[in-house]
Amino acid sequence: LNVKIGATHGGISVGEDGASHQCCEDFALMRSIPGMTVICPADDVEARAAVRAAYEMQGPVYLRFGRLAVPVFHDEANYHFELGKGEQITEGDDIAIVATGLMVNEARIAARVINIHTIKPLDEDIILKAAKECGKIVTAEEHNVIGGLGEAVCAVLSEKCPTPVRRVGVQDKFGCSGPAWDLLKLYGLDAATICKTAKEMLGK
């Protein structure tokens, strides 16, 4: 069916609404539906481009939008959105950070950073290129580490280019109530955790 699902308040960053309103399992659920395209934009510019692309394509699409305001780092005048294609944001050759949604901005550390706005179908080429050139991968998502971006990346690499991977995300727990940014820090969904994980992988 040519149905488009625009889901708001994904992840734990809905904050004070509490665990009953938080959803850290949606990627896993939607990835398992045959033919479903799964999108999680990183900022306002990308969100608007994703909606247009979803409208224009034939087939079911799930778009996840967060409630929390995040920095806009795309230049709308020059940004080109393509379904199923990741975006390399920064250069690096010792470790690559593969992130989606609000975690992309948190992942903008001194490393190769890749924005994966389309979780399904996954851009295998950009993942494999990063694995071959960097040798180590960290994934980052505002989602359970089970069933989301991290597992999608691991599945590709295990079959085509075995590479050490560490997954930053919700560690198989339910959410709780609290200010959004405090919750992101509590669950390790922040730049500090990404940086710490990358340093551990590099032995620093």
Residue 166 DSSP code: E
Q: How is residue 11 annotated by DSSP?
A: B
Residues of the chain with pLDDT under 50: none
Cα gap 42→104, rounded to integer Å: 6
Query: In angstroms, rounded to a whole number, what is the distance separating the alpha carbons of residues 123 and 73?
Result: 21
Task: State the pLDDT at residue 18.
Answer: 81
> Model's pTM, two decimal places?
0.95
Rounded Cα distance between 48 and 55, Å, is 11
CA distances from 161 to 49, 146, 148 (A): 31, 21, 19
In tens, the pLDDT along 18-43 reads 888 889 999 999 999 999 999 999 99
Q: Which residues lie closer than 8 Å to 63 by C-beta, 6 or more apart?
A: 4, 5, 6, 7, 39, 40, 41, 47, 50, 51, 54
pLDDT at 69: 87
